[in-house]
Structure 1
Amino acid sequence: MPDLLQTARPFLAGGGRIESHGPGGIRLTIPATPAGYADAQLDDTQGLPRARFLWRPPLRLAVRARVDHPAPLGTWGFGFWNDPFAVSIGTGGTARRMLCAPRAVWFFHASPPNAFGFTSGPTCGWRAMAIDSPNIPGGLLTPAALVALALAQLRPLRGPILRYALSRITASEAVLGAGTEEVHDYVIDWEHTSATFSVDGRLVLRAPHPPAAPLGFVAWIDNQFAVARPEAGLRFGVLPTSDPQSLDILSAEITPGAL
């Protein structure tokens, strides 16, 4: 059972930091940030092309975690994703990646004014999520996405473009209760034909169509926001924060193999 807190690598921005916290745990913290972007992230995707990301079903991810703030601004969470917005073309040992459509199996929190979702449910808050999307080659998706982004700024085209883009994504979501300041046990059982999410031993979501492609582990807290709604358009930004915000991960382990 890999101990992700020992094998994953940090990514820090805007004064973000990762420190030891308790016996075997870590604390990811972003400082008070009146302007600019701040992130404290732990992942195992850095330097790898997406085809070499480490994790495929079947497996179990077990995380014991809490946040230190009743309503953190920005986003935070943990689970698996394909790092869809990282674009890097390099040589040698660097990753060769282009833009790709999102895939994820994770617990994800987004504060207002974040407004995005792939089902008819709420567009922000604390959610269990499984997201899959078509396998479109990056060489085709990147220019198409840039054109769509430009056209989506035109009010008459905004709604149709975003409705079409969101309709191409297959997703299952469940809104989770409050109480994230308390320590909880989070489990994702990711199989080929389904993914189940549990909190403190209670099933909260069964997703029938999880992604099958290799994904990477990520845990983070940042001050970003994103809006992707037909009625509101597409925009991204950062939120000013007046206090430090932390995500405590007391343990994080993966058990590969049949469940």
Structure 2
Amino acid sequence: MFITQTGNGIVTQTENSIRLVVPQATVDTYSNAQIASYRRRDEITCVPPLRMTVIARYEGELHGTAGFGFWNAPGLRLPQALWFFHASPPNNMALAKDVPGSGWKAATLDAKRWQFLALLPWAPVGFLLMRIPALYQQWWGIGQRAIGVSEVLLDNDLMKSTHTYTLEWLPDEVRFLVDSELMLQTRQSPCGKLGFIAWVDNQYAIVTPQGRFGSGRVAAQNPQALILERIEIVAL
């Protein structure tokens, strides 16, 4: 695994765990504690079918985002991801119909789908239409499927103690389990190569079907940490 420590981010490793910690954070500085299976995009090599097993817990009240799973490290590219993902307010990535834009989730996203690219020229009109509640309820499901989004909100209390998180990524299906209990099963399976990532940072993002966009950093007065007791990725 490759380590990234940005701003106040700290990664420490003991015999029994890896700790990703942001002791404190300010809105002026991006802080990130991260491990990943890659440094460069040509090292992003994970493909289905595979199973990820992570035993983890959080410490402190999270301000920003945190999680573990797979993504394509998009940069300026269209994003793809499947992961266990936490976002605190003011994060608002409300891409799944009737699922809050923040919280502790199991989620998929694939903005490289041809369906999304086909709808992209109509996005400005779509944003306006989605501001009408009745039209959002009727039509946003089409947009959600186009960007490969499938989400379920998990109990925030899970984060306070150690649990086993399993992600099974198949070519035509993704399954998310917590302590062997199925939380989400979806056919929204991203295509292509992704990389493993686990992180804690103080970032927020706003992306909504109604055309609200924004990003920034949040302050954290107290330490926040992700403790990883086991990481296993195996081909199926």
**TM-score under structure 2 normalisation?**
0.84
Residue 215 to residue 161, structure 1, CA distance change in 2 (3 Å): farther
- Matching residue of 1:24: 16
Amino acid at match of 1:12: Q
The 5-angstrom pairing of residues 220-259 of structure 1 reads: 220-231=199-210, 233-257=212-236
Pairing of 1:38-77 with structure 2 (within 5 A): 38-49=31-42, 52-69=43-60, 71-77=61-67
Alignment partner, residue 119 of structure 1: 96
Q: Deviations over 1:87-122 (max 9, x none)?
A: xxxxxxxxxxxx221111110000011001321111
Q: Are the aligned partners of 1:101 and 1:135 in contact in 2 as well (CA < 8 Å)? A: no
- With over 3 angstroms needed to count, the CA separation of the structure-2 counterparts of 1:224 and 1:205, relative to structure 1, is same
Q: Choose which of 80, 83, 106 in structure 1 pairs with 2:70.
A: 80
2:197 aligned to 199, 218, 222, which one? 218
Q: 1:195 aligns with which of 164, 174, 187?
A: 174
> 1:139-161 CA deviation, whole Å, 9 max, x = no partner?
x9xxxx9xx9xx98xxx996469
Shift of the alpha carbon at 1:176? 0.5
* Cα distance in 1 between the residues matched to 2:126 and 2:164: 44
Question: Of the candidates 30, 34, 46, which is equivalent to residue 37 of structure 1?
Answer: 30
Mapped contact 1:84–1:101 kept (Cα < 8 A): yes
Structure 1 distance, partners of 2:200, 2:69, is: 13
Runs of 4+ aligned structure 1 residues displaced above 2 Å come to 133-136, 156-168
Gaps of 5+ in 2: 132-139
**Amino acid of the residue matched to residue 205 of structure 1?**
L
> In structure 2, how many angstroms separate the alpha carbons of the residues matched to 1:167 and 1:135?
9
More strand as a share of residues: 2
Identity %: 33
Quote how far apart the aligned CAs of 1:11 are: 1.1
Structure-to-structure mapping, 1:89-128, within 5 angstroms: 99-120=76-97, 121-128=99-106
Count of residues paired in the alignment: 220
Q: Residue 199 of structure 1: CA displacement?
A: 0.2
After TM superposition, the structure 1 stretch with the greater mean CA deviation from structure 2, 116-125 or 53-62, is 116-125
**Post-superposition offset of 1:210:** 0.7
Residue deviations 1:69-95 (CA, integer Å, cap 9, x gap): 2x311000000000112xxxxxxxxxx
Q: 1:15 to 1:26 in 2, by over 3 A?
A: same
Distance 1:229 1:193 in 2: 26
SS across alignment from 1:10: strand
Deviation at 1:232, TM superposition (A): 6.2
CA distance in 1, matches of 2:205, 2:111: 19
Counterpart code for 1:37: Y
1:158/1:172 Cα in 2 relative to 1: closer, same or farther (>3 Å)?
A: closer
**Is the CA contact 1:159–1:233 (under 8 Å) kept in the aligned structure 2?**
no
- TM-score, with normalisation over the residues of structure 1? 0.77
Secondary structure in 1 matching 2:104 = strand
Alignment of 1:155-194 (within 5 A): 159=128, 168-179=146-157, 180-194=159-173
CA contact (8 A) 2:103 2:156 kept: no
User: How far apart are the structure 1 equivalents of 2:130 and 2:155?
Assistant: 33
Using the TM superposition, give the Cα deviation of residue 32 of structure 1 relative to its aligned residue in structure 2, in angstroms. Answer: 1.0
Q: Distance in 2 between matches of 1:183 and 1:31?
A: 20
